[in-house]
Chain A
């Protein structure tokens, strides 16, 4: 499988999921948390889902309101996200030293 391109936006989405790993999250909620527009957020979700890092399901809410699509990371996805976020943390923690030097 092709490695997933981890843009800052993707990392922001992953971080948002990692904060509440067991919760099912709505698209609009993720958009508000990450500050990403629908045109950016959904392609990321689609790519994560295609690589089985994310699971999605439809949930019925109140009467008369259409069911909503909800998302959460799969166990593999959670592991992947944590490793990538750790990588980023390491890189970022090194960057100030490099920049200062």
Chain B
């Protein structure tokens, strides 16, 4: 039984080897095959075939590298024979490259990388399908049908400001289905401060989670939004002073600065994401990480700074009147609020608010201590003021940890954008070239003159498609792992790199030459390589000797 299989395997191996062999070596392949049945022992037969196949493969390879190295031998259309049909070889190899390129689509990192990298191009090419908002709306529909409150929270926290009302509706529906999800009101309110529902939501939230600085901040932001409606009619200074004089705003900010803690519920949202993302297969990093950042917004940051400045001013007034204790209390109120926000260790505006406010307060406390002659305390406050000074930006690198660094992420984003565009361009060329070749074939191959050029374009595009696909896969793979780690396992330690990468990929390369120069250099090198390959192929095809028909070798059996 085994012997039969081995014999059969040996025969198949020899037959295959002969098929790929160049014409001048085929006779020898047949010679080895004819000896095969006389070889004693099945294993010896297989070894004989293996040796023969090696000889044939070597000749096939040599024929590919040094085409026509044995002139005068009758060609008959071998796969790797140069002077027989390089077009067939190019088409077969090109087909292999396309297949290999398409296989990348089976890999989740490639699919995600491709989708992410097309974000910037989607604006240029008006690809609406890449926008996350319609997919979020579809997810909301599914969640509503399944009465899934977590799915509704997931969408409500991420819909754009243009869909604020829908966001509020989904949040209310989610809380109706599961009252434990009340915190979604805070997440939505912080993102959409113009919502009228906020006035109803905030009292409930304050009862549910007292002493959280987020709710008075939301209230103050909402009041600021009302003022903003008149802002266009007033000069900025007047508008600002009108806001500062607003008692409701003052009261909200005072409550925020007196709060003992700050929680933007980002941890709860991340926990919810870990359950919802696999449930709905929503693997869009842009929508997940950039579309739904909870917490302190630019408005709240502005309000905090405005109120802190007014506190510091009143502290200075008290100081000038000789009330140093009262002044110190005002300064400490600002520093403490910065610490409260800082305790949550959130990035973005939260980080800016906490560090800026602390730096401002410590500067005042340093001056006050120096006036009191307490130099040791003054030195400490001086150190703290420098540490939190946003101008130094040192705290940013301490707080936000990178593995690759911002520049690498920016370059990787540019590489991915160029590669994804290359995939589109090469695919387009490939489709056109393949259509021409198929049409030509159906017509019986009448336009022979056009075929070498089209074949060369098809082959070059196949190479380009494979190289671009491999580049996308290899470049995006580390980010895919970071994304998986963050969303599935909750490991957010490396998310800074992914966030920087996603921020960079939303814009086309070119705005920063110092960062993107290497990208342009290698893109140029690749382009030159592809052009050279096309040039060689175009010269190669028309220059080959035309083989009219298969010639018979009388020596062969």
B47: chain A residues within 8 A (beta carbon): 37-38
The reply to whether the CB of A69 lies closer than 8 angstroms to some CB of chain B is: yes
Are B35 and A28 touching (Cβ within 8 A)?
Answer: yes
- B25-57 interface (Cβ within 8 A of A): 25, 27-28, 30-35, 37-39, 47-52, 54-55
Pairs across A and B, CB under 8 Å, 23 listed: A26-B38, A27-B31, A27-B35, A28-B39, A38-B49, A38-B51, A38-B52, A38-B55, A39-B50, A39-B52, A40-B51, A42-B32, A46-B28, A50-B70, A56-B555, A58-B555, A58-B557, A66-B557, A67-B34, A68-B31, A68-B34, A68-B38, A69-B30
Check A67/B557 contact, CB under 8 A, given A37-B47, A38-B48, A42-B28.
yes
- B61-75 interface (Cβ within 8 A of A): 70
Q: Which residue of A lies closest to B30 (CB)?
A: A69
CA distance A26 to B49 in the complex (A): 16
CA distance A8 to B39 in the complex (A): 24
Check A65/B37 contact, CB under 8 A, given A40-B51, A42-B52.
yes
The reply to whether the CB of B556 lies closer than 8 angstroms to some CB of chain A is: yes
Q: Mark B329-360, 1 if CB is under 8 A from A, else 0.
A: 00000000000000000000000000000000
Are A66 and B55 touching (Cβ within 8 A)?
Answer: no
**B residues apposed to A, CB below 8 Å:** 25, 27-28, 30-35, 37-39, 47-52, 54-55, 58, 70, 555-557
B55: chain A residues within 8 A (beta carbon): 38-39, 42-43, 46
Q: Which residue of A lies closest to B52 (CB)?
A: A38
CA distance A24 to B286 in the complex (A): 76
Are A69 and B31 touching (Cβ within 8 A)?
Answer: yes
CA distance A57 to B554 in the complex (A): 11
- A51-77 interface (Cβ within 8 A of B): 56-58, 65-69
Q: How far is the CB of B384 from chain A (nearest CB, A)?
A: 78
Q: How far is the CB of B94 from chain A (nearest CB, A)?
A: 31
CA distance A66 to B556 in the complex (A): 12
Q: Which residue of B lies closest to A71 (CB)?
A: B31
The B contact surface, by secondary structure, is helix
Q: How far is the CB of A36 from chain B (nearest CB, A)?
A: 9
A-side interface size class = 20 to 34
Are B51 and A37 touching (Cβ within 8 A)?
Answer: yes
A50: chain B residues within 8 A (beta carbon): 70
Q: Which residue of B lies closest to A39 (CB)?
A: B51
A31: chain B residues within 8 A (beta carbon): 48
CA distance A67 to B51 in the complex (A): 20
CA distance A40 to B48 in the complex (A): 10
Q: Which residue of A lies closest to B39 (CB)?
A: A28
Are A26 and B28 touching (Cβ within 8 A)?
Answer: no
Are B31 and A42 touching (Cβ within 8 A)?
Answer: yes
CA distance A27 to B33 in the complex (A): 10
Q: Which residue of A lies closest to B37 (CB)?
A: A65
A46: chain B residues within 8 A (beta carbon): 25, 28, 55
Apart from A56-B555, A65-B37, A69-B30, what 18 extra A-B contacts exist at CB < 8 Å? A26-B35, A26-B38, A37-B48, A37-B51, A38-B52, A38-B55, A39-B51, A39-B54, A39-B55, A42-B28, A42-B51, A42-B52, A43-B58, A58-B555, A67-B557, A68-B38, A69-B28, A69-B35
CA distance A68 to B47 in the complex (A): 19
CA distance A75 to B224 in the complex (A): 108
Q: Mark A16-39, 1 if CB is under 8 A from B, else 0.
A: 000000000011100100000111
Are B28 and A68 touching (Cβ within 8 A)?
Answer: no
Check A28/B38 contact, CB under 8 A, given A39-B52, A58-B556.
yes
Q: How far is the CB of B13 from chain A (nearest CB, A)?
A: 12
CA distance A19 to B48 in the complex (A): 25
Q: Which residue of B lies closest to A65 (CB)?
A: B37
A28: chain B residues within 8 A (beta carbon): 35, 38-39, 48
CA distance A45 to B34 in the complex (A): 16
A68: chain B residues within 8 A (beta carbon): 31, 34-35, 38
CA distance A55 to B362 in the complex (A): 100
Q: How far is the CB of B438 from chain A (nearest CB, A)?
A: 39
Q: Mark A60-101, 1 if CB is under 8 A from B, else 0.
A: 000001111100000000000000000000000000000000
Q: How far is the CB of A52 from chain B (nearest CB, A)?
A: 13
Are B32 and A27 touching (Cβ within 8 A)?
Answer: yes
A26: chain B residues within 8 A (beta carbon): 35, 38
B51: chain A residues within 8 A (beta carbon): 37-40, 42
Are B52 and A66 touching (Cβ within 8 A)?
Answer: no
Partner of A38, one of B25, B32, B70: B32
Q: Which residue of A lies closest to B38 (CB)?
A: A28
Q: How far is the CB of B39 from chain A (nearest CB, A)?
A: 6
